[in-house]
Amino acid sequence: MAERELVIIPHNNGPYEVRGKVKIVTKGGRILQSDEAEAWLCRCGHSASKPFCDGTHTKVGFQSNLDVPTAAVQGWEDACADSDVKEGDIKGVRIADQPVVIGRVGGRLYAIGGICTHQQAALEEGELDGKIVRCPLHDSGFDITTGQAVRLPATVPVPTLDVKVEGGRVLVARKG
């Protein structure tokens, strides 16, 4: 009897489906599965029955569209890991060679232009106070959710950019 070819299918927003003769062994040598069948393996990292999938990916909002590689998605640029931006913090990145500040407020990510419109200071050196990014130079403030200048001396808003998370990576839209 001929062995079936081993096939691994990564499901969008879900687990790896493994078909064929498969043997799954722990580092210590314990055999978890050994047969001609299929196995569903966790990709999100949150399964309680690792390495097997238990469906937790749907509860944690795991996202990974493997049909279109992230790097090839037109108009979006990989900025950082989702875990790099903690709640209430900001992170400076470069998108299309321009400074941008990414911040997390209420569990949601936002991105705004990274240069203060008052005296051209780098906003990444400032801080996030609630939803206000405060400039390190003269304490101007910009609402990270809208880009509006909400604290003097700045009066001109900074641009906003769309943000999404795919496969644990923060993607920021490039202005066209």
Judge whether 2 lies within some domain: no
Give residue 145's pLDDT.
Answer: 96
Give residue 1's pLDDT.
Answer: 42
Q: Are residues 115 and 30 part of one domain? A: no
In this structure, the chain runs to a length of: 176
Q: Are residues 164 and 120 part of one domain? A: yes
Instruction: Output the pTM of the full model.
Output: 0.59
- DSSP letter, residue 62: -
DSSP H helices in 17-149: 56-60
Residues of the chain with pLDDT under 70: 1-4, 36, 65-74, 175-176
Beta carbons of 21 and 6 less than 8 angstroms apart: yes
Give residue 117's pLDDT.
Answer: 94
For 142, the domain range is: 70-173
Beta carbons of 172 and 100 less than 8 angstroms apart: yes
SS3 content of the chain, % helix, strand, coil (to 5): 10, 45, 50
Give residue 3's pLDDT.
Answer: 57
CATH number for the domain that contains residue 119: 2.102.10.10
Give residue 69's pLDDT.
Answer: 45
Q: Are residues 52 and 103 part of one domain? A: no
Q: Are residues 116 and 77 part of one domain? A: yes
| Cβ density class 72-97: b for 16+ within 10 Å, e for less | eeeebbbbeebeebeeeebbbbebee
Give residue 52's pLDDT.
Answer: 84
Give residue 133's pLDDT.
Answer: 97
- DSSP letter, residue 153: T
Give residue 6's pLDDT.
Answer: 77
